[in-house]
Each structure stands twice: as C-alpha cells, then as structure tokens.
Amino acid sequence: MILKTKATALLCAAMLAVSSMMFGACGVYSFTGASVEGKTINFHPLENSARNVEPSLSATLNNKIRSRILSQTGLAPVSSDNADYDIAGVITAYDVTVSGAQNSQTASLNQLTISISVEFKNRKTPKSGFSQTFTRFSNFPASQTLQSVQAKLIDEIGTQLADDIFNKAFVNW
C-alpha cells in the first residue's frame, strides 16, 4: 500500500513539474486563450468624434473594454507612457439607420451601429500592435424609440466591441 502511494505521489509531482515548465516558458496564459507577456497596460480615454454624440457612450465603452481586458489578463492599469501595453481609441460612428422595410414603404427595423477606431501598442512584441476600426450593430423594432432601447443596445454592442478588441489584442487566432 505504501509503494502505491509513493508511486502516485511521484507521478503527480512529475506531472506538476512538466506542466509548470510548459506554462512558465512563454508568458502568462488564461483559459480564454489570451497570451499576455507584460504586466501593465495604459488605457487612454475614448474620444467621441461620432457625428451623433450620446453623452454616456465614451464612459460606457471605456469601462467595458477596461473591464474585459483586466478581468481576463491580470494586467495592472497604469497611467504611464512606458506601460507594456497601450490602448487608445476614437468613437467614429454612432448611427441609427433603417435596416428593414415592410410593404416597401414602412420601416420595420432600425439599426444602431457603433464604430471605434483603436490603436493598440504592444511594447513587448511590437509586431502585435495594430490600428483597426471595430464595428458592431444591433437591430430594434421601428415601433420603439431609440431612447427606449438605447441603454440595452449600448450595453450589448459595447460587450461585443470589448470582446472583439480583447481578442485582437490578446488572443492571437
């Protein structure tokens, strides 16, 4: 019985040693598939240069992007130009358009579209930096006003944009 326990303990120790070497060799990994080599990130406030301005949009999107990145990477936010990662952006679109018509004359669906132009710098691996515009949209019934669905739509679209930006920056698929 003692021999069996010692063998199990040795096997567990060997597996632990091998797995720690595998994960320790190339940076930090998370269950989201994120690869993080650095320790700090500098978030610049999103500027809002969209033609239509929703006053709370910049703060809402800032919080979504910041929360998504910090919760999935373990990075520490800093206000310094020498952070390992640097993210800045501009809201370039906040538009409502007709996306569906009924009987060729009446709108049945409207669409809220939000676009963010993002500049991401990776000081650990400069080739991984990027400048890209991310766009997401959501439809809502034309019988509803934008004001009645706006908070819900901004929340949904903001989550999608935060996921897109996180994936581009840290999940190298």
Q: What is the CATH number of the domain that holds 144?
A: 3.40.50.10610
> What does the alpha-carbon distance between residue 129 and residue 169 come to, in Å, rounded to a whole number?
7
Interstrand relation of 130-141 and 106-122 (parallel, antiparallel or unpaired): antiparallel
Question: Contact 116/161 with Cβ under 8 angstroms?
Answer: yes
What does the block give as tokens for 118?
Answer: 């993002």
* 144 secondary structure, DSSP code: S
More confident residue, 95 or 28: 95
60 and 138 belong to one structural domain: yes
> What does the alpha-carbon distance between residue 153 and residue 111 come to, in Å, rounded to a whole number?
10
Mean pLDDT over each residue of the chain, to the nearest integer? 84
Q: Containing domain of residue 3, as a range?
A: 1-30
* 20 secondary structure, DSSP code: H
pLDDT of residue 34: 76
104 and 131 belong to one structural domain: yes
* pTM, rounded to two decimals: 0.78
User: What total of structural domains would you count in the chain?
Assistant: 2
Q: What is the mean pLDDT of residues 102-111?
A: 76
Question: Contact 98/107 with Cβ under 8 angstroms?
Answer: yes
Q: What is the mean pLDDT of residues 70-97?
A: 95
pLDDT of residue 108: 85
Q: How many CA atoms lie within 13 A of 9 on its CB side?
A: 6
Q: How many CA atoms lie within 13 A of 101 on its CB side?
A: 5
107 and 147 belong to one structural domain: yes
